A = this chain, B = another copy of it.
């Protein structure tokens, strides 16, 4: 940020009175331009049929991580709720209708100022199709997931925890729980 978005004068980086960290401040009109983390919200669309549990992944048609696989997810918008964001992104990226369940994972990615959240979801039909930000969309069983071609550590972590819970529930019963984790390092594939 170089200029004030209210009055177009140059901004200064300084600690305002009663604050304890540097902000972009306009000394002309007095506006303090706060910058805060953003939420990336998505779903884990599950299709359970013929004794097999499969999840819907999208292959990215955009940078970063062009060509890599991800769960449908994207930046939450103003005027919507976290659930609405998850369903909207699932429709936009995968053309998929889902019934949304509870929040499954919450992952902090502080070095990029993001919090990622994924909701469990049930895919309602097989009429999905790649949106403009996806090259292709398809269902993967746990053994088919291309672990070395997953776009983001938050997605790898969510998928691993999801299948762990799913397998445990199938064998022992019980229920899903909320998984939280901090992913502090630069984006890597080995988390």
Residues of A within 8 A of B (CB): 1-9, 11, 18, 21, 33-39, 75-84, 102-103, 106, 108, 110-111, 113, 115, 132, 178, 180, 182
Contact = CB atoms under 8 A, between A and B. Distances in A.
Contacts of A82: 106, 108, 115, 180
Contacts of A76: 36-37, 115
A79 B111 contact: yes
Nearest to A180: B103
Contacts of A35: 78
Copies per complex of this chain: 2
A-B residue pairs, 7 tightest by C-beta: A81-B108, A3-B8, A8-B8, A78-B113, A1-B5, A36-B38, A5-B5
Nearest to A9: B8
B5 A2 contact: yes
A79 B38 CA distance: 11
A132 to B, nearest CB: 6
Given A3-B4, A36-B38, A39-B115, 14 more contacts: A1-B6, A2-B8, A3-B5, A3-B8, A21-B77, A34-B75, A37-B39, A39-B39, A79-B110, A80-B110, A81-B110, A82-B115, A82-B180, A84-B110
